Structure 1
Amino acid sequence: MRELRRRIVAQFAVDRRVLALAFARMADGIGNSFLIIVIPLYVTSDVVGGATFGLGESMLIGVILSLFGFLNSSFQPLTGRLSDRTGRRKSFILIGLAGLAVTNVAYVFADTYLSLLVVRGLQGVSVAFIIPASIALVNELATSQDRGGNMGVYNTFRLVGFGSGPIAAGALVNLGPYRLPADVTLSGFDAAFYLATVTALISYGLVTLLVSDPDATSANAGADLSIDIRDPSGEHLLDPIFTLGVVSLFMAAAIALFATIQPQVNARLEQGSTWFGLQFAAFILAQVALQTPIGRACDRYGRRPFILAGMLFLIPTTFVQGFLASSAPMFLARLGQGVAAAMVFAPALALAGDLAGEGESGSKLSILTMAFGYGIAVGPLTSGALIGYGFETPFLFGTALAALGAVLVYTQVEETLESTRSVPVVGDD
């Protein structure tokens, strides 16, 4: 037992600021993931009305969910660059968390489709302040020997929050309304929105009290922040960080196909929203279990083998979802997607962090986070458009993206960890 406890402590032995930031992102992740489950239910309820702009129900849900991702991703290069210029990561994180708290409350008063679009869009801009600054801060507090582990720990706790939210969200809505003191009645939807607000405020408090910028961040502010598309060395067609961004986009899009088509999935599998919440969360739960050990392992064995293996495993786990007809196998397929993503996410961030120079972590790593956000936006929008051509069609599209991503990793990305370069890795000539 003592040895097991020692190993667990060793797994999470990182800079205290990384751990504090991870706990803070866990808190706001609970609230943000609530909305992925609650918003589709909210849109289809009798609470929301107004103009639909000629869009069907599934497409409308896709637009609302995707707007968050598009604005979030579009603003990330700007906020990442500004945080590099100023060297003030913590301030950007706090601005984003404050905006997140305000927009979560605003959902209570959003009773039209247009108001939902506006609130969700503002929320996307708020989160754009959080993500690049957080990832850059984790990167700057790490070294090449422990960068994968730091990224893994950060993502593990962030995803604990993001994964636990959907499990509770469906039940919270279904169990409403709630009778409060003073004869006040709170609907299930309002309860979810208020709880999301509380989690954002908790996160704000943790960052305020426990997180600080490293001295090197301010000292190196204002470095060259250019972003390459072509490989400057000429060895490959594409720059490796840009390539990892494209791969992150493909991976996220393949995973996010599931979110928009909740009504069709529930109807096909003859299940309720609680089962859907479990299936959605399965992807996250697999990452929670694997992000830290895979991050530690890629510090020892190299980044590239994990990234390539993850993209290859994403192919069958995405494909099979289009042909399943019961709830438990769909849960297992989503679990498999989570395993694949865990093999890609922390090693890809670590590899990009290895390549980023001092004072440019926000700009360089925002390429991956921006691309991942675009994928989260493209996935729901695409599945909302493709579901009309057959239940399997969105998943076939995601399978093609996963295959193309694997090809890009194989042909355009090289290992960065010095200790593994003398050891053959998958795909080397």
Structure 2
Amino acid sequence: MDRIIAPFAVDRRVLALAGARMADGIGNSFLIIVIPLYVSSGVVSGTAFGLGESMIIGLILSLFGFLNSSFQPFTGRLSDRLGRRKPFILVGLAGLALTNLAYVFAETYVSLLVIRGLQGVSVSFIIPASIALVNELATTGNRGGNMGVYNTFRLVGFGAGPALAGAVVSLGPYALPIGVTITGFDAAFYTAAITATISYVLVTILVSDSDSAAANAGADLSIPILDRSGPNLLDPIFTLGVASFFMATAIALFSTIQPQVNARLEQGATWFGLQFAAFIIAQVVLQTPIGRACDRYGRRPFIVTGMVLLIPTTLAQGFLFSSVLMFVARLFQGVAAAMVFAPSLALAGDLAGEGESGSKLSVLTMAFGYGIAAGPLSSGLLIRFGFEAPFVFGSALAALGLILVYTQVEETLEATAPVPVVGSD
């Protein structure tokens, strides 16, 4: 194993991969802010398939998540069969860089849909291979910590992107030293392409495949639903995937109903932005320490506790009338998600056999992606039944996820598992 980096207690290749994902996360999350502004700016023309502007924006953004999640099981399984992770990550990053650059030339709704769809496919190459590589470079004693560090860096990039995107667009146009002027939109697209390119270079130079993946290529890659050998009805990885879908749906309810939230709380966009960011803040702060703690105290206690906490923190959002309390609820919802996410990946990684990481862990990442797409749709449909309805629905899903995890998932590591010595080979 490569020497462990002392400040983070992770394999240096994991740290390099995490830094690369942070860079491409900045650029990719840029587009969450930039694409709606670009569509509404009047630059885009052509047929909108009879849809209104807000609907076509939603379609463009949601297509990414749908294709990304749908292709992950296939790319994860293919990377297992070939026993290679790095080439898949590089293909995905190259696709991101090229498609980010393609936005500069996109002037129709159809072209935006095609480009965003291709980006979803590109990222489907990155996520399963990256998670699988982190899993293979870790050991049972430090898998949670490695997953926590990886997710922390990725979330820092995802959270920083939207904050920077608005400034890049609004400060344009830019006069370059070579005598060329570019718009704020083009500057944002170029920035996104550059960050993906930086990620590509970092992975090329600093990241290498694990020996175990190549040695065990072509292992049994089936994804069972029922537990064929254990004491429970459902397969634990499948159960964690279902719970991840429920959790992601619950946490994504908030994003679609900004006008209703602001009207109910009598607040402006600034407060909503802070409330939205509270979830990410909790994730960034807690992913690594919770990941390390689950290496010492076990995975299941954190997952169960997180699912328990998810129920009241989701439900409360439907009954609050204070901006400050909504911020607190979102913050603790982020704490709940942090307690579930890294330990779930670590537990699934413990269960995945040699050469199966891409297939097995893609179940969780796919389910989470579908949940992030289903949450906004659910709240958009349910808000007509009252402000409380989406959050009651989300808390019910969280309760069902808790029941599934509590009854169908067993601990994979001893409560007193030793923590690896930092700085050892």
Correspondent of 2:189 among 193, 203, 208? 193
Contact kept, 8 Å, 2:86 with 2:208, in 1: the verdict is: yes
Structure 1: distance between partners of 2:217 and 2:12 = 23
Shift of 1:11: 5.6
Structure 1: distance between partners of 2:149 and 2:42 = 41
Structure 2 match to 1:381: 377
Contact kept, 8 Å, 1:303 with 1:415, in 2: the verdict is: yes
AA matched with 1:21: L
Are residue 155 (structure 1) and residue 151 (structure 2) matched? yes
Matches within 5 A, 1:17-416: 17-181=13-177, 184-233=180-229, 235-265=231-261, 275-325=271-321, 327-416=323-412
Moved more, 250-259 or 291-300: 250-259
Moved more, 258-267 or 86-95: 258-267
Structure 2 residue ranges without an equivalent (≥5): 418-425
Structure 1 residue ranges without an equivalent (≥5): 1-8, 422-429
Moved more, 183-192 or 353-362: 183-192
Q: TM-score, normalised by structure 2?
A: 0.90
Structure 1: distance between partners of 2:259 and 2:192 = 23
Contact kept, 8 Å, 1:136 with 1:365, in 2: the verdict is: yes
Structure 2: distance between partners of 1:318 and 1:189 = 36
CA deviation map 1:90-141 (0-9, x unaligned): 0000000011111112223333333322221111100000001001101111
CA deviation map 1:338-389 (0-9, x unaligned): 1111100110000001100011111111111111111122123333333444
Structure 2: distance between partners of 1:169 and 1:211 = 28
CA deviation map 1:182-230 (0-9, x unaligned): 6644433333222111111111110000000111211111111111001
Shift of 1:401: 1.7
Number of residue pairs aligned between Structure 1 and Structure 2: 413
Structure 1 match to 2:421: none
AA matched with 2:104: V
Contact kept, 8 Å, 2:306 with 2:338, in 1: the verdict is: yes
Q: TM-score, normalised by structure 1?
A: 0.89
Percent identity at matched positions?
Answer: 81
Structure 1: distance between partners of 2:200 and 2:139 = 27
Contact kept, 8 Å, 1:166 with 1:281, in 2: the verdict is: no
Residue 211 and residue 165 in structure 1: after superposition, are their counterparts in 2 closer, same or farther (change >3 A)? same
Contact kept, 8 Å, 1:31 with 1:196, in 2: the verdict is: yes
Structure 1: distance between partners of 2:326 and 2:182 = 33
RMSD: 2.4
Moved more, 387-396 or 154-163: 387-396
